Amino acid sequence: MKALVVEDEFVSRKMLDSFLAPLFEVDVVVNGAEAIEAFSRAHNQGNSYDLILMDIMMPGVNGLEALERIREIERENSLEPVKVVMTTALSDPKTLIKSFHDGEASAYIVKPLDKIKLMTELKKLKLITK
Amino acid sequence: MSDDALFEEFHAELYDKYYPQIMEGVEAMEGGDVKTGFESFARPLHTIKGVTGFMAGFEEASKFTHKVESYLKKLQAGEIEHSPENVAAAIRAVNMIFQVIEQIRESGEPDQTETSEVLKLLEAQSGGEDDTGQGMDFEVKVESQKGVNIIHVGAPRIHLESQLAPMIKALEDQKEGSWVLLDFTKVLTLSSAGWEAVESFADKLAICAVGLGSACKEVFYSWGFDRSISAFASEEDFWNSMKSH
């Protein structure tokens, strides 16, 4: 299985990479624009992601904008929606609701990150069994 | 974030935004248009499931919505017949979501008797399958008829590499220059990447396809795969066309 980590902050990036590496082939990008590009490239190569972990506050294209663009690409190409977990320090109701409604996020994790929180969500999404 | 602030924001959205969208969906379904109904339901129900899963005490609402959403997905995919009974069960379950949220808000928990009754109804209407909708008797079966190898594909959805692999392996096993008929009768959706993988064999095999459902057809024709793969409405049509070869 393939995962894409979208995270501008170095420590979070390393942490998520280390949590996922035993289970997924992990690619890492640092902003929303790169996330859209990585998503499209993987799809064009017939090697799509099974999971995207998306930070929200990032320079340039933020995580919510990137996710909305990814959903548009999926609709345009009749693709099965990729599972996207928002991983963010933002915990306000508007961002949470917008993530599920406008971005059709699969799950939402408020930082600080830890392995148990992440694995619990991946289990709920049936990406892992144990 | 405080649960009160989240609930207030969510509750306002629930009735200002999602309720009208859902009622549009109910009207469309009552009018027999399941596809439009599902499109109106999809986003608000996904939001209700996600946000209630995040609110302490409302996890039951999230689980209930998830089950309703799974039933609707099966209905939309044609895995459940669009009979008046099945559509009525969907509408009842969707309405029940609002009731469950209000019951939790008022008394801390939903009315278990009523929610169990609705969930049992959904289970009965969907033939008692699990909520993954991935039931499958076989991955791939290959048989030969009149010099044509027929590959019957059993997976209902083919998007991941693991779902695609058995069909690709069967294609790899074919001798160069042979006729192959792919039977997609049991397949509900096949991604463009999946079609591309099949198409990559078109330069060494004569590939035909039969049994394409509406979602498969949409991707097949919109991406132009009909240029290299011949699709037939039925096996009978395929064999009739073979007579001319």
- Residue A66 included in any domain: yes
Q: Based on C-alpha coordinates, what's the Rg of chain B?
A: 22
- Going from N- to C-terminal start, the domains of chain B cover 3-125, 140-243
- Residue A38 included in any domain: yes
Q: Domain of A29: which CATH number?
A: 3.40.50.2300
| pLDDT value for B191 | 80
| Residue scoring higher pLDDT (B155 or B209) | B209
Q: A92 — contact with chain B (CB < 8 Å)?
A: yes
Do the Cβ atoms of A100 and B51 come within 8 Å?
yes
Across chain B, mean pLDDT equals 87
The answer to whether A104 and A121 are in contact (CB under 8 A) is: no
The proportion of chain B whose per-residue pLDDT surpasses 90, expressed as a percent, equals 47
Do the Cβ atoms of A101 and B46 come within 8 Å?
yes
pTM for the full model?
0.66
Q: Which residue of chain A has the CA closest to B44? A: A101
Class of domain B3-125: mainly alpha
What sections of chain A are H helices per DSSP? 10-20, 32-44, 63-76, 93-101, 115-124
At A115, list the tokens: 């392995």
User: With bands split at pLDDT 50, 70 and 90, how would you rate the model's confidence at B127?
Assistant: low
pLDDT at B129 over 50: no
At B231, list the tokens: 């699709």
Query: What's the whole-number mean pLDDT along residues B62-73?
Result: 93
pLDDT at B38 over 50: yes
pLDDT at B131 over 50: no
| pLDDT value for B2 | 62
- How far from the centroid of its chain's Cα atoms is residue B17's Cα? 25
| Residue scoring higher pLDDT (A86 or B140) | A86
Q: Which residue of chain B has the CA closest to A93? A: B6
Contacts of A100 in chain B (CB under 8 A): 46-47, 49-51
| pLDDT value for B188 | 75
Digit-coded pLDDT (tens) for B188-210: 778 888 899 999 999 999 999 99
Q: Which of A79, A91, A104 sits opposite B43 (nearest CB)?
A: A104
Q: At what angle do helices B112-125 and B84-107 cross, to 10 degrees?
A: 160
CATH no., domain B140-243: 3.30.750.24
pLDDT at B138 over 90: no
Digit-coded pLDDT (tens) for A16-75: 999 999 999 999 999 999 999 999 999 999 889 999 999 999 999 999 999 999 999 999
pLDDT at A79 over 50: yes
- Residue A130 included in any domain: no
Across chain A, mean pLDDT equals 94
- Residue A53 included in any domain: yes
pLDDT at B130 over 80: no
Closest CA–CA distance from residue B191 to any residue of chain A (Å): 6
Query: What's the whole-number mean pLDDT along residues B112-123?
Result: 89
| pLDDT value for A128 | 86
Q: Residue B110: is the preceding peptide bond cis (ω within 30°)?
A: no
- Residue A12 included in any domain: yes
Domain span at residue A19? 2-122
In this structure, how many other beta carbons lie within 10 angstroms of the beta carbon of residue A44? 13
Q: Which A residues, 19 through 48, put their C-beta within 8 Å of a C-beta on chain B?
A: 43, 46-48
Question: Structurally, how many domains does chain A consist of?
Answer: 1
| pLDDT value for B170 | 93
At A91, list the tokens: 């915990």
User: With bands split at pLDDT 50, 70 and 90, how would you rate the model's confidence at B136?
Assistant: low
